Structure 1
Amino acid sequence: MGMNKGRIGLRTKLMCSYLALIVLATALIGYFSYLNATRIVEEQIGETYKQALRQAAINITYRLEEIENVSEQILMNPQLQAILKRERSGYGDTPTVEMLADFRVLMDIIRNLENNRNLFRIRLYVSGDSLYSNEQNNIFRMEDLDPEWKRQVSESGGRLLWRSTYEQEYLPWNRYKVVSLYRNVIDWSDLNSALAVVAIDMKEEVFNDVFEQVNFSENGALFVYNDDKRITSVTSSAGAVFDESDVMREIRQAERSADMPIVRYKGTDYFTIFQQVEYAGWEIAALVPVHEIRAKSYVIGEYTGYVGILVVLLATVPAVLLSNRLTQGLRTLVHHMQEFKKGNYGGPIRVTGNDEISGLQAQYNSMILRISELVDTVYEMGLRKQAAELAALESQIKPHFLYNTLDTMKWMAVKIKAEPIVTLVDSLSKFFRLGLNRGQELTSVAKELQHVQAFMNIQDIRYAGKLRCYFEVDSGLLSCRMTKLILQPIVENAVLHGIQQKEDASGTIRIRIFPDRDHLVFDVIDDGVGISRAQADRLLQDDRGRGYGLRNVNQRIRLYYGESYGLECHSKPAAGTVIRIRLPKAPYERDGRESLYQ
């Protein structure tokens, strides 16, 4: 099919549109399926983590309560109360049997309590300065307690104080990461007085053991904190990337209204799962990489993409068949139009079906018939136009040579003082110059009247003053546009076939020009012999004799302006003739180069 290069055919457009709809529908289904799958996967994995964290919180609560029970046993032990009172009062300057006995009892109490598997060490900071107060393993002087924690314990009013993970040194030269519970040992006899401060240490490994039971992320982290203060944390093998202070800041800023708020840390998004520990306001925050949870949904997305591609491939076959079916009639129509463009008119198209395409085929057949008729008409008009242009061309042969010759004749006549010859040559030169009009098709009313005046000047000399010519025209119409060589052939016809046929061969020609709405009307009136009405009706169809010039002018006007314009002839024998010319009224363009066919 002879389609223009680079143009996309209707069949291709239909097929692409059909496939685009399939691709769009498949993509939307796949996209929403992926979103739904991602949501379900996130909910399932999130619920799994939450259940594991709930169990971890229960286990942590159990261990913390055990430590608290140990501290209660220390506070409620009457032997310990009595020993600490004696230690505060002092044993004198020399060790006594009583001090040694108290030391043995004190160590027995501490070692019995340290048998708890969740407890690592009990440190007792005493108020006195007995010898055993410098034991430095379980018993310490109050001065050995960190001043800040000493202050906090003093201001606690008997409340439990938990210290987050830190390194504590133990004999012999061992350091362990521990979490500690600090409490005042209150004197029962004076509740405002403290006998000692007890610190119960738990190794950080206790928490690690709890979280190891959680099926946790390979690239995440767990943080246990109290009132925004970190207690301890457990990280994966990639945990070195976590800066605890930065992570705690992100955790505090997380949007708690979301089920699993997302926080960004060092360019990576993490789901945050929170779990309250039912003990002293502690909380667990688990950070799980988003991509790790969504990895399964990515697989679902890949399978959805494969299914979508398969659907598109399967839909291509019916798309091709359907587009071929729908465009068959149009392709046939386009083929005939291409052949018509090449000049192969051929016959009409066989109309098939009863749809819009068959309607186009029927309209095409009607159009071809009409175009064939118009081609014949245009061809005939072209022949007429060529004849008119040839006549105009013949009148323009060697205009410069003619002008120069006439100019030479004029100056020769001037030298011999032959004024009639000067006037004749000057009028003839102006006649030809205005008639040729520099090869332009349009002229103004003023120039056309000058052309007639030049013609009449020549005729006046020729016929010894027997001819008279008058112009009646509004000065506002002189600038209107018209086709050249319209008035002079009519005036010449009036002279030759009207006035010259009278016995005295004398007469008058009047030219009137006036507007008629959007038209410009010219009346050429002579007082010649006139003709009958039958002769007047045949005058514009006569291609020889008197009517040849009028017929030529009439054809030119209709060729240029259309069938509604042209000449009218009104005549009466022995009275004269009126030739009326009707043209469109339009202002004259100075350059005069626009085409008459615009």
Structure 2
Amino acid sequence: MKIPSLSIRNRLLFSFLALLLLPVITLGVVGPLIFSRSIETQVIDHTLRMIAQVDKNLEYLIVNLEKLSNLLEATPSIHQFFMPSAGALQKKYEQEALAFMDACLKTHREIAGIMLISSDDRIVSNHYTRITRDPLTLEPWYLKAVGSTSGITIISRPIGRNIRSQLGYGSDDVVSIVKPIRDPDHFNRITGAILIDLRLESIQELLADSSLGRDGYLYISDQNGELVFAPVNQTIYRIAPRQIEGSEGRTLRRCNHEVFQILYKQSSYTGWTTAGVFSIQSVLREVSFIRFYALIVGSFTVLLAILLSVFFASSIALPVEKLRSLMRQAETGDFSIRFSENRQDEIGQLGHSFNRMILEISNLIDQVYHEQQRKRETELRVLQEQIKPHFLYNTLDTIQWMAQEHRAQDIVDMVSALTQLFRVGLSKGQEMIPLREELRHVESYLFIQKVRYEDKFDYTISISPGIDQLRVLKVILQPLVENAIYHGIKERRGKGHILVSAEREGPDLFLTVEDDGIGMPADKLAQLQEELKSSHQLHTDSHKDWGEGGHIGFGARNVHERIFLNFGPDYGITYQSTWGVGTRVTIRHPAIEV
């Protein structure tokens, strides 16, 4: 007796029972893991808050110094000091400036010293003097400040400058803020600079209350990765601040067999990076033993879960996966595939239904394709038959004869071009014509339009040698040239140019219509390309969007669909356009020999 196969429903029931039991067993493992993760998350959040607070305090400190430099610049005596025409009053201005700077130093204890440097190398300072007679205006820090486009320049370690502090401050004890002074009457002319040295101890005071546990600490580095301030710690230089990338984030570094987590953020105002460093092992040491045993139990549980999942899922997932793969193939247009497994369960029934659906879709697509092709061909025939060739030729010949009688050569040329235009367009009912005839047709159209628009544009027709005998679909260039004139050249200012070119690349022929008109915005170009792509689907109402509210126009749509219907989806037209520069339309057409 044949045992019936288990249904999908029963297999899913067994899988659900197994999955429900697993959380109950693993509950004792997940708890410690969540606890340790929670501690790590709290430490990270605390570190980020500390970094944000330190960064805010540093910006506040630098902003105050920038305001002080603005106040110094606005002081009349200091302003006159930077002017070269002070004359006999120069000493008076310098004394008043010294007095004002003394007052600033008494109210700003974070400042180590202030110096005024004029563009002609005169200096005024309470506690700073030159070391040598070399000009300060040629030193790198001065040149960097006066060449900067920002309001102030921050120099974290002003090493090697020609300045001595009478209070004993060295280059490792201060951070310099330099503000260039500009002539109010000539903004691009630099009259000097204001140097304010910030005591590094004031930055240390900002970090005094910042604690990151027993082993954690904060440090500050400048734009070049050089340390501005760091506590005395054996790991600080091994962490290598230069290796930090980006303006904000986190990274891991290994030092002395410990993994350190570094959280950092760069100030958009000062350019400095504030980083917090703490040992992950130190933070999680209290829960490490719980995690160790939890990992052992959890590993065993996960292994059991994997084995059960593989066992239960294999009998369900494999045929479902195969059916899904077949569906993906069908989405790409391959309707020759079939579900071949002989199953009696629900998946087998789905497979049989899938086979019937694929067969029905394939039949419907073939039916729609042939109906659409016949419809397009009928529409084109109707459009072509609306013009009566004999009547049109006789009328144009009569007009040309009358123009010659009246010696109106311009009318003769115009009628001749129009005759050529209609002769190629009708071409005795032939759908394919030589490339030279197609180029004559578009040349006649361009001649007529040039006469109409006078000096609005010029045109050039270029064809590679040896390809004029290739056969192409007729009247595929004229609609594109018409679009170039009405939507490109006509909208631009001044005289434009249209280039029509033809060249062969291997088995394909590329016809190009390029103009230097107004072009198309990026959003309109994207919509146009989407319409070209969607036209391959051959919906019965697709022409409505193209002809009325679309972006391509009936003529260009007609060209694209004719090429597609005759030669397949690899051929048609493509657009390239830049707003304010111009548009390039390329036709890809098979190279058909005579």
**TM-score above 0.5:** no
- Larger radius of gyration, structure 1 or 2? 1
TM-score, with structure 1 as normaliser: 0.40
